[in-house]
Amino acid sequence: MTNIGRRNLKKKDCKVILIGDSHSRECEKKKSNYLGNSYEVTGYVNPSTGLEVITKSAKKENDHMTQKDVVIMCGGANNISKSESIKGLKYVTQFVRNRRNTNVIIMNAPHRFDLEESSCVNKVIKVFNRKLKRIIKGYNHTEVTDMSANGQHYTKHGLHMNKIGKGWLNRRGDTIDKLFANQKLASITLEWKGSSVNRNQPETTG
């Protein structure tokens, strides 16, 4: 089930849509707190799903996004755990190619702190993230942002980010600034207050 959360519901100049798995839960709330009043932030969370489902989230809304807007995508952990990382990268590539109408930020796959550093899964995560960045280099409307590599930013079980980690992630305005700089959208000014449950149906938060 996709959880849909919306913040800043008055008519805004720009939209930010967050689509992702359980790692992105409640991120739309925190992202809204750090973006200025010009932004409407909406989150679509699909717990325990892979990039095939995530990339199809909010299709109607994404079709109407413009070059003043941003789609933020968080996913890949499910594909990696199922040994489907190549398939996951294929869905990401298709999504980016089909979203030239707007700007896209992709969060890379997080390190698994619940596993050993030398585990097979963490090795695959490193390869997945390296290939992801290589793919995205060819698209000016897309940027990749790194998930935190600080173990203190994750819960005790080590799989998901905690409140501190999500706060750290949402304070990173540099990725959006860099994205708009690449697009040469001089008219866009990002105002940051901080630094520069059914699987097939959306779950609404907020």
Which helix (H) or strand (E) covers residue 4, if one does?
strand 2-7
Residue pointed to by tokens 């750090």: 34
pLDDT digit string (tens) for the chain, length 206 residues? 555 555 444 556 788 898 998 876 666 555 555 555 667 888 898 888 999 999 998 888 989 999 889 999 999 999 999 999 999 999 999 999 999 999 999 999 999 999 999 999 999 999 999 999 999 999 999 999 888 888 888 888 777 888 888 777 766 655 555 555 555 333 333 333 333 333 334 443 44
Q: Classify burial at 38, counting beta carbons within 10 Å of its beta carbon; exposed 0-12, middle 13-18, buried 19 or more.
A: middle
pLDDT score, position 37: 65
Q: Are 142 and 93 in contact (CB under 8 A)?
A: no
pLDDT score, position 181: 54
Q: Specify the length of the chain in residues.
A: 206
Q: How far is CA 52 from CA 76, 132, 193, in A?
A: 10, 15, 34
Residue ranges of domains in the chain, CATH in brackets: 2-203 (3.40.50.1110)
Sequence-distant (6+) residues with CB within 8 A of 51 are 75, 76, 78, 79, 87, 88, 91, 92, 95
Q: Are 190 and 35 in contact (CB under 8 A)?
A: yes
Name the 3-class secondary structure at 81: helix
